[in-house]
Amino acid sequence: MNSEQTLYEWIDLYAKGKLPADETVALEQRMHTDSEFRHKVEQQLKLIKALHEYGERRELKTNLDDIHAELEKETPVVPIHKTTGSTWKKYWPMTAVAASVALISIVGTLFMTRDLETKQTAYYKELRRNVDQIKKSQSIMMKDIAATKEKGKILPGNYAGTGFLISANGYLATSYHVVKDADSIYIENSTYGSFKASVVSSDPANDVSILKIDSIRLIGAIPFTIAKVEANLAEDVYTLGFPREDIVFGEGSVSALTGYKQNPNAYQISVPVNPGNSGGPLLNNKGDLIGMISGIQTETTGAAFAIKSTKLLNVIDSVKTDSLLVPLILPKQNSLKNSSRVQQVKQWTDYVFIVRIYKNN
């Protein structure tokens, strides 16, 4: 046993407090004087202390583990917040709030959009209703002239278009759609009163019908001619017609030399026309007939159409070749060309008639 080992034995005993009192004093005294010795002893004591504490702590740990196991056995500890520590468990309230916000936003947006849409739909419907009305008006205008079943049902005999004299011996021109399906036709104006008329000839393709006043009665020379040449673009034109019970004047220009869907037999005109104007004469500055109002385009404002007078003449020619009891003699001279428009119109009103269609069902 060397000196170092002896020293260790001493220190062991000292650490355990089992060193005899005199030796303890000697040891401590030596520690005071010999710093190297003291360091050695202290290191040794520290090691022993660490060992000791290690032992105690280890024991304590096992002890606590035992207690914990026991604790788990007798009362399973239920945490107030039963969490597993997962992110979800921690953040679910926030997630829920976020989800609610998202949901509310979505639903809110949906509601709002729906509201918006309803409004738009309403607007659209309204528009459609307008369109419907226009369509209706157009069809009324057409049907007036054409006297459709529906109209006939509602107001038998109360649909009207416009027509005008093309010869002094009682021939009139009007739109085919005005008089088609008619059971009986009466023409009327303030100058001459009312006459019964019948269809002499029709050209559905060009929407032209020729009527004849049944009671032959000479009216006198007609002061205008039917133009044999086409009108020019931008030419000033006017019309007379019966969109209501009274004759109505309307003016504008020739806006195109073709009609609806590039129909070469018609003009597009910027004359305000309404249902009832169908069959009305379209006149130029001289008071000559250059066309006959036939319809309007619903989607476009200020776009009306008129059959060209040249086409009208073609139709009249084809009628003339048929055997007519009364010859159709077209006017040859225009006595209006130097008159003012007011004078022209004053004269013209005598030759424009409201065409009433009666239908029996």
Partner 1 sequence: MDELIVSEIRKKNEVVLRELYKMHFPMVMNLVCSNSGTEQEAKDIYQEAVIAFYERVQQEHFRLTCRIKTFLYAICRRLWLKRLSEKKRFHGNIDETETFLQIDDVMLDMDEREKQFSQMSKALDGLGEPCRSIIEDFYIRDLSMEAIRDKFGYTNADNAKNQKYKCLQRLKKLFFENT
Q: Count CB-CB contacts under 10 A for residue 327.
A: 9
Q: By CB under 8 A, is residue 229 in contact with partner 1? A: no
Q: By CB under 8 A, is residue 17 in contact with partner 1? A: no
Q: By CB under 8 A, is residue 63 in contact with partner 1? A: yes
Q: How far is the CB of 68 from partner 1 (least distance, A)?
A: 6
Q: By CB under 8 A, is residue 60 in contact with partner 1? A: yes
Q: How far is the CB of 59 from partner 1 (least distance, A)?
A: 8
Buried b or exposed e, range 152-185, using 16+ CB within 10 angstroms: beeeebebbbbbbbbbbbbbbbbbbbbbbebeeb
* The only residue of 29, 43, 121, 338 in contact with partner 1, by rule CB under 8 A: 43
Q: How far is the CB of 102 from partner 1 (least distance, A)?
A: 24
- Do 309 and 166 meet the contact criterion of CB atoms below 8 Å apart? no
- d(C-alpha 91, C-alpha 34), whole Å: 65
Q: Which is nearer to partner 1, 39 or 149 (CB)?
A: 39
Q: By CB under 8 A, is residue 57 in contact with partner 1? A: yes
Element (H, E) at 127: helix 87-146
Among the listed residues 195, 145, 147, the one whose alpha carbon sits nearest the alpha carbon of residue 171 = 195
* The only residue of 82, 228, 261, 332 in contact with partner 1, by rule CB under 8 A: 82
* The only residue of 10, 31, 37, 44 in contact with partner 1, by rule CB under 8 A: 44
Stretch that binds partner 1, among 67-75, 120-128, 139-147, 283-291 (CB under 8 A): 67-75
State the pairing for strand pair 266-269/304-308.
Answer: antiparallel
Q: Is 77 helix (H, G, I), strand (E, B) or coil?
A: coil
| Interface mask toward partner 1 for 83-122; x: CB under 8 A | xxxxx-xx--------------------------------
Q: Count CB-CB contacts under 10 A for residue 91.
A: 12
Which residue pairs from 21-24 have beta carbons closer than 8 angstroms and sit at least 24 positions apart in sequence? none
Q: By CB under 8 A, is residue 285 in contact with partner 1? A: no
Q: Which is nearer to partner 1, 54 or 123 (CB)?
A: 54
